Amino acid sequence: MEILQNFGINFPAFVAQVFIILVVYIILKKYAFGPVLAMLEERRKRIEAGESDLVKIREQLEQAESKVQGMLDEANTKAEKMISEARESASALREQKTQEAISEAEKIIAKAREASKLDHERLMADLKRDFGRLVIDTTGKVTGKVLDDKDQARINEEVAGQVAL
């Protein structure tokens, strides 16, 4: 004990201090360290749960992104198909309208030819009649006699036959 006294340590005070430290440690362990450690453990568990939730969320996000990409790919495929069908439909419609226009043009040309033919026949009939009248008038003047209906009809037939050629 002399050594303790040489260093200035009072043994009863030292024992009392060790006892007080042990009592304080036990009290702190029970009422302070325990709740603090429990709170830290709970916090650690929440952090782990949050990290595992974050991993799950990332996986779900990746799945959602792949689903969205799949939907976009499908929509693009459908859109391309619709565009292709629209082009084919437009081409078929254009071809149909072209055929209708050609048919209509052919009908117009046929009608124009028919009208032209009728006009030609009418003009030829007018020409024959006028030419016949001129021949009758000229024949009447040259011969100096008045032609009767029978002579006029005969001359008209002859002239019409020659004009038709």
- Predicted confidence at residue 143, as pLDDT, reads 66
pLDDT digits (tens, 9 = 90+) for 28-51: 888 888 888 888 999 999 999 999
Secondary structure (H, E, C), the chain = CHHHHHCCCCHHHHHHHHHHHHHHHHHHHHHHHHHHHHHHHHHHHHHHHHHHHHHHHHHHHHHHHHHHHHHHHHHHHHHHHHHHHHHHHHHHHHHHHHHHHHHHHHHHHHHHHHHHHHHHHHHHHHHHHHHHHHHHHHHHHHHCCCCCHHHHHHHHHHHHHHHHC
pLDDT digits (tens, 9 = 90+) for 77-106: 999 999 999 999 999 999 999 999 999 999
| Residue 73's pLDDT band (cuts 50, 70, 90) | very high
pLDDT digits (tens, 9 = 90+) for 113-152: 999 999 988 888 887 778 777 776 777 666 666 667 777 7
- Predicted confidence at residue 1, as pLDDT, reads 60
